């Protein structure tokens, strides 16, 4: 790595843009301390792959000319650790949405293992309505906040592996290695649907992007 590519462990509650703004503010403060004014190029900061506010973990920050490489990072595979809460659904697929009780059924460990196997390989999923995916030229989350009715198109994504870390109902913890464009919130909801109990992603931590790790 170099000074223009930073690995950040994003805390929960921060948006990816919050991190960008914090670093940009720090750069500006450094130059002011030296009695200098930074150029637009020196203040150029971006990120290579958004993390939801509730999520934590690896966020790659790019500065200056490195911002031109953002597209290269977006195509890389990623590894996450997720806690999926069974028996409930969320309008956003995470703890920040409206939570609805769905089922009190307790799936067996055998049922959970069998369902996880179904989601390995090339799968089809529909990104959450509260996501940055564009629908007719507009961000889905903006349309959702405006109360508009729309459907996010399905997409084909790659799930390289899913490892069961622990299961103590209602919490199901997994480690998952996925290709670019995969939404773990959607996957959590699909797992809950396959189990017949509903689910949402309660905690999410990105631990690596290709060869870059926390």
Query: pTM to 2 decimals?
Result: 0.90
Q: What is the pLDDT of residues 63-89, one digit of tens each?
A: 988 888 888 888 899 999 999 999 999
C-alpha dist (Å) from residue 100 to 33, 112, 160, 191: 51, 21, 31, 16
pLDDT level of residue 173 (50, 70, 90 thresholds): very high
Question: What domains are there in the chain, each with its CATH number?
Answer: 5-74 (no CATH), 78-213 (3.30.2350.10)
CA dihedral 155, 198, 115, 165 (to 10 degrees): 100
Share of the chain above pLDDT 70, in %: 98
Report the 10 Å Cβ neighbour count for 83: 18
3 is catalytic: no
Give CA–CA dist 132/124, Å, rounded. Answer: 18
Question: Does the pLDDT value for residue 190 go beyond 60?
Answer: yes
Instruction: Report which DSSP code applies to 67.
Output: G
Catalytic residue among 3, 18, 52, 202: 52
Per-residue CA distances from 31 to 3, 24, 36, 46 (Å): 16, 11, 5, 19
Using DSSP's 3-state secondary structure scheme, residue 136 falls into coil
Q: How many CB atoms lie within 10 A of CB 13?
A: 9
* Tally of CA atoms within 13 A in the half-sphere of 50 that contains its CB: 13
Query: 70 and 46 in contact (C-beta within 8 Å)?
Result: yes
């Amino acid at each position: 790595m170099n000074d223009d590519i930073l690995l950040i462990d994003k805390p929960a509650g921060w948006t990816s843009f919050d991190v960008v703004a914090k670093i940009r503010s720090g750069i500006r403060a450094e130059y002011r301390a030296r009695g200098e004014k930074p150029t637009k190029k020196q203040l150029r900061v971006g990120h290579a792959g958004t993390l939801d506010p509730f999520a934590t973990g690896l966020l790659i920050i790019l500065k200056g000319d490195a911002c031109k490489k953002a597209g290269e990072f977006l195509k890389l595979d990623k590894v996450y650790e997720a806690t999926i809460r069974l028996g409930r659904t969320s309008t956003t697929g995470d703890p920040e949405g409206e939570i609805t009780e769905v089922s009190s059924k307790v799936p067996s460990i055998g049922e959970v293992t069998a369902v996880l196997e179904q989601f390995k390989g090339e799968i089809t999923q529909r990104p959450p309505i509260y996501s940055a995916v564009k629908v007719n030229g507009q961000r889905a989350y903006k349309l959702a906040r405006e109360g508009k009715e729309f459907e996010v198109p399905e997409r084909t994504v790659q799930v390289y592996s899913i490892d069961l870390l622990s299961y103590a109902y209602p919490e199901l913890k997994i480690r998952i290695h996925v290709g670019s464009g995969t939404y773990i919130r959607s996957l959590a909801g699909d797992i809950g649907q396959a189990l017949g109990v509903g689910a949402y992603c309660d905690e999410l931590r990105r631990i690596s992007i290709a060869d870059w790790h926390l």
